[in-house]
Structure 1
Amino acid sequence: MARADMGGKTKVKDEGGLWETIKVIVQALLIALVIRTLLFQPFNIPSGSLIPTLLVGDYLFTTKYSYGYSRYSIPGGLPLFQGRVWGAEPKRGDIAVFKTPKDNSTDFIKRVVGLPGDEVQMVGGILHINGKPVQRKRIEDFVTSDLYNRQTAVPQYIETLPNGVSHRVIEADGDNSYWDNTNVYKVPPGHFFMMGDNRDRSADSRDDTVVGYVPFENFVGRAEIIFFSIDERSSAWKIWDWPWSVRWNRLFTVIR
């Protein structure tokens, strides 16, 4: 009898402990979902379209609240509502994550260069906005990898957009590659024109078969800070390589 009583008490205690563990796990998952949906979302950079600003192997946080919320703020893009709530339009020069309009599911990250109503054109490698060339200043070459993964120095510039935002761009193929001379793009209402800082190695709004004009609804968040960065020839899970492969000088760098 005593043994039966003792066994019953142990069973009740064990079941209570299991239930508490389940509740803690569920609560943690709900908190993580709320943070990811409403506040911050991490992304990693798999391609070089924003070199030299962002490198392959950078891990960053975006702020979801910067532009308000649309269906694409929700994991899976569930169509719970249309348009945006608490929306604040992207500013020229922002680096933003968005769902490409071609499938409304693939995440792209580019810089906002054209606002609704703007006319955007590339002429001889120089960005033109509303008929005026954007200021561009030559600085030291940037060392990057070519198409054959060989180290090479390429022309680098400081570009200053009409609102005063300055950032670096590179021209890996000089100023006369395919996307360095374009027709005039007229940005429709409610849309934005996005470009990479690696001007000759970026699939962006210049190519309407890949990206084209990006609707405001498709914006996911604004890139804010690099919280981790590792050499593209290594992997983040190889902790034993971190002393040599982590780019320590890029950790906790604010993105401009």
Structure 2
Amino acid sequence: MTLQAVLSNFALILFILMVVTGVIWCLDVFYLAKQRRAAADRALAEYDARTAKLTADGIKLDNNSNRAEIEAAQLRQPTWVEYSGSFFPVIALVFILRSFLYEPFKIPSSSMVPTLLIGDLILVNKFTYGVRLPIINKKIIELNDPQRGDVMVFKYPRDMSQDYIKRVIGVPGDKITYENKRLTVNGQAVKYTALDDYLNDDSLLYSKQYKESLANVEHRVILTEGAPNVNLGDVKDFPHSENCTYRYEGFTCTVPAGNYFMMGDNRDNSADSRYWGFVPDKNIVGKAFFVWMNFSNPLKRIGSIN
């Protein structure tokens, strides 16, 4: 099994560890501890009987210290029980926190530059879009729906073992048009404000940078001069692809019910819904909301997303 596969199944591994250590902890509390107590009581009774006989014969013993040693030896937990009991509450707490509240992720690519940089360690809110059962990711409590402008983590539709992060551009029913590197949502042109060019620290190349106002959410995007609006050769076949029409200048897509259209803020260097299609609601992991560390820029990167 590859490292990526192991990490993608981390929740399952954590769940199995929690169940195993929890069963051992319960077994100890409700059965093994009582068995050890009974064995200690029998050993102490036998010791007391021998001590009484020796005392009657005139032999004096350090009764208290020997008695305490015997009791401690009988009550001592086996190593495997002791470690399981120690790890169980920690594993259970971590499982609950990352399954229902907040889960950490690391940004692996530049598709969300300049909002998120490679190596950013982020926190994802797991309950904003509803409470879901861990492992199977089935929603059991409806709360909020993703909104345009949200930065969302989701399972990649073409490989559910991979987590992707992009920005929500379109919600169910929206008509998204992208032409000449500009977005139009439901016939309304998205507002763009030119900013200073963005310097990519890795390539040392400048890109055009704009402030994009999407549904009252203002964020930065970068564009690469000379890059095509869509690499038509990279467009895959995907569910509901009939909802999209592609041309050299861009594309138009109508978002089907229960799905979302996602794009990266690094518009010309992002594999997103333009190429592999819509994200179903069942694939949603949570809303990214905070950068808590980047070891390359430890202080500059800490803060809320956007």
Give the TM bin, normalised by the shorter chain.
0.7 to 0.9
- Aligned partners of 2:71 and 2:80: how far apart in 1? 14
Please tell me whether residue 182 in structure 1 is matched to residue 250 in structure 2.
Answer: yes
> Deviations along 1:56-103, whole A, 9 cap, x unmatched?
0100101101001335xx1xx337x5x552231001100010011223
Deviation at 1:5, TM superposition (A): 4.3
Q: Which amino acid aligns with 1:183?
A: F
Say which SS state the counterpart of residue 56 (structure 1) adopts: coil
Matching residue of 1:171: 223
Matching residue of 2:211: 158
Instruction: Please list, as runs of the form range in 1=range in 2, the aligned pairs for 1:89-238 lying within 5 A after superposition.
Output: 89-144=145-200, 149-161=202-214, 163-174=215-226, 176-178=228-230, 181-208=249-276, 212-231=277-296
- Aligned partners of 1:52 and 1:152: how far apart in 2? 13
Matching residue of 1:238: none
Say which SS state the counterpart of residue 131 (structure 2) adopts: coil
Matched-pair contact (CA < 8 Å) for 1:70–1:217? no
**Residue number among 29, 35, 42 corresponding to 2:104 in the alignment:** 42
TM-score, normalised by the number of residues in structure 2: 0.68
- Aligned partners of 2:191 and 2:208: how far apart in 1? 16
> Deviations along 1:164-190, whole A, 9 cap, x unmatched?
111000002356443583221110011
Decide which structure has greater helix share.
Answer: 2
Higher RCO, 1 vs 2 (CA within 8 Å, ≥6 residues apart)? 1
* Cα 1:23–1:168 shift into 2, 3 Å: same
Say which SS state the counterpart of residue 206 (structure 1) adopts: helix
Say which SS state the counterpart of residue 127 (structure 2) adopts: helix
Q: Which amino acid aligns with 2:225?
A: D
Say which SS state the counterpart of residue 33 (structure 1) adopts: helix
Q: Which amino acid aligns with 2:173?
A: G
* Cα 1:70–1:173 shift into 2, 3 Å: farther
Deviation at 1:9, TM superposition (A): 2.9
Matched-pair contact (CA < 8 Å) for 1:62–1:224? yes
* Cα 1:20–1:218 shift into 2, 3 Å: same
- Aligned partners of 2:140 and 2:226: how far apart in 1? 40
- Aligned partners of 2:298 and 2:278: how far apart in 1? 34
Matched-pair contact (CA < 8 Å) for 2:100–2:132? no
Q: Which amino acid aligns with 1:203?
A: A
Q: Which amino acid aligns with 1:78?
A: I
- Aligned partners of 2:264 and 2:148: how far apart in 1? 13
Q: Which amino acid aligns with 1:38?
A: F
The answer for unaligned runs of 5 or more in structure 2 is: 1-46, 48-62, 232-247
- Aligned partners of 2:287 and 2:113: how far apart in 1? 17
When the two chains are superposed, the root-mean-square deviation of aligned CA atoms in Å is 2.4
Matched-pair contact (CA < 8 Å) for 1:89–1:216? no
TM-score, normalised by the number of residues in structure 1: 0.81
Matched-pair contact (CA < 8 Å) for 1:121–1:183? yes
* Cα 1:84–1:141 shift into 2, 3 Å: farther
- Aligned partners of 1:9 and 1:173: how far apart in 2? 79
Matching residue of 1:255: 305
Deviation at 1:132, TM superposition (A): 2.7
Deviation at 1:202, TM superposition (A): 0.4
**Residue number among 22, 27, 30 corresponding to 2:92 in the alignment:** 30
> Which is higher, the Rg of structure 1 or of structure 2?
2
Deviation at 1:157, TM superposition (A): 0.2
- Aligned partners of 1:113 and 1:33: how far apart in 2? 31
The answer for unaligned runs of 5 or more in structure 1 is: 232-245
